[in-house]
Structure 1
Amino acid sequence: MDLEIRENEFLILNYLDVFRVIKDVKKVEKSTGLKSEEVIAYLPKLSEKGFVVKETKGTIESWRITSDGEKVVNSYRQFMLDRTGQREAIIKKFEEFEDVYNVKFKELVTAWQVKIIDGRPVINDHSDPDYDSTILRQILDLHKSVLNILKEIASAIPMFTTYIRRLDYAAKKIEENELEYLIRNEDSYHNVWFELHENVLKFLGRERRE
């Protein structure tokens, strides 16, 4: 396969394909593991290749992926799957994450936010510690199962290793009763899960289902 980009360039383009814009390279660093200086150095090179464009509004600079960038990043995903030598097995792991674990996680997040009382949905005011504790325990149990499947995926596609570390960090914070790490914090379990889920969808070639 004639590759037009290298792995680090893929990581940056993949970030853009998921989030659509880069305004803060620190966020790219957190997501990809690349140093901010590396990201800053790669972006102009990717622009020269026609894969990203730079936009300036006042003093704010941002970068966006082009249609050619979207094509090349998708081709690289296919290369990564083929390179594993176990394409079908990895795709099945992605499908399991999407169709089993993601469905369950969405149910649990909804249950954390909304309680059913007398058959009607009511915003959870978190005044019932037993209810909240039950939901949190289920989320942490789900986390253990998700780590297992992520480790299998990451052994073949190392870029997913970052999600093991970041989800585990948020889960430990939740266990320590820092509950903003479930949804509200920038590094919350929910936010990291969202990013992971978007990447799984990209590898599967699926659109997000609301």
Structure 2
Amino acid sequence: MDDARFRALHALRVKGMTSATVAAAVVAAPEDEIAAALDDLGGEGLVRHRSGGRIEGWSLTKDGKAAHAELVVDSVDDDGRAALEQAYQAFLPLNGDFKAVCHAWQTRGDDDAPNDHTDASYDDDVIARLAEVDGRAGAILDGVGAAVDRMSGYRPRLSAALDRVRAGERSAFTAPMKDSYHDIWMELHQDLILSLGRTRDAADEG
């Protein structure tokens, strides 16, 4: 299977149902190549497209999931696997810090009352904490992105989400299905686990 076709499968395995545009961003590939690959894979019954409803997009079929499981093991060389393992081990402690920042964004006070975002000073402090986590993540992602090209999209995507948060777009922090920082972070975590052939365990919960 050629690289574009594998990347298309991998993007859907990481993201779930999504568009060709987003799938291409997940695996750092040209959109036209991913769109063409999805069309081909659809003809082979490995992916399917849903339209006309509230949620539209491409997703893997059962056969597509099986095909991806066979291909992902050999999708990187030894150097790439070493870079993925190094990134994963560095990611785990940072993941716990990120979860704490998300908790602080969504709640506040000893009683974990919902954050109504009326205190700009409080929110600014939490955004500063997110920026600190982002800076630490950057060093991890620069290394693995250089070794495994399909991972190179996470750094600019996270940076763009942080810029949106700084510009006042609150949903860009943790809102689901908004290409938020949290959405992209979860995709990165899933990608590392899948690419290394791991299963999620207690260490992944942070």
Q: TM-score, structure 1 length as denominator?
A: 0.79
Alignment partner for residue 139 of structure 1, among 125, 130, 133?
Answer: 130
Judge conservation of contact 1:21–1:62 (CA < 8 Å) in 2: yes
CA distance in 2, matches of 1:182, 1:53: 30
Matches within 5 A, 1:52-67: 52-53=47-48, 63-67=58-62
On the 8 A contact 1:84/1:156 being kept in 2, the answer is no
Structure 2 gaps of 5+ residues are none
Q: Does 1:207 align with 2:200?
A: yes
Deviation at 1:53, TM superposition (A): 4.2
Matches within 5 A, 1:159-178: 159-178=150-169
Which residue is equivalent to 1:21?
17
Whether the 8 Å CA contact 1:84–1:157 is kept in 2: the answer is: no
CA distance in 2, matches of 1:55, 1:133: 40
User: Structure 1 residues 65, 179: closer, same or farther in 2, change over 3 A?
Assistant: closer
**Greater CA drift, 62-71 or 154-163:** 62-71
Aligned letter for 2:109?
Answer: I
Shift of 1:191: 1.9
Amino acid aligned to 2:38: L
Q: Compute the RMSD of aligned alpha carbons.
A: 2.9
Question: Are 1:80 and 1:157, in contact at CA under 8 Å, matched by a contact in 2?
Answer: no
Partner residue in 1 for 2:107: 114
**2:26 match:** 31
Aligned pair count? 200
Q: Which range moves more in the overlay, 120-129 or 177-186?
A: 177-186
Give yes or no for contact 2:28–2:149 (8 Å, CA) kept in 1: no
**Greater shift in the superposed pair: 30-39 or 137-146:** 30-39
Q: Which amino acid aligns with 1:93?
A: A
Of all paired residues, the percent bearing the same amino acid is 25
User: Take 1:70 and 1:113, find their aligned partners in 2: how far apart are those partners?
Assistant: 34
Find the counterpart in structure 1 of residue 172 from structure 2: 181
1:91 maps onto 2:85 in alignment: yes
Q: 1:10 aligns to what?
A: 6
What amino acid is the match of 2:98?
A: F
- Deviation, structure 1 residue 44: 3.9
Q: Distance in 2 between matches of 1:50 and 1:38?
A: 18
Instruction: List gaps (5 residues or longer) in structure 1.
Output: none
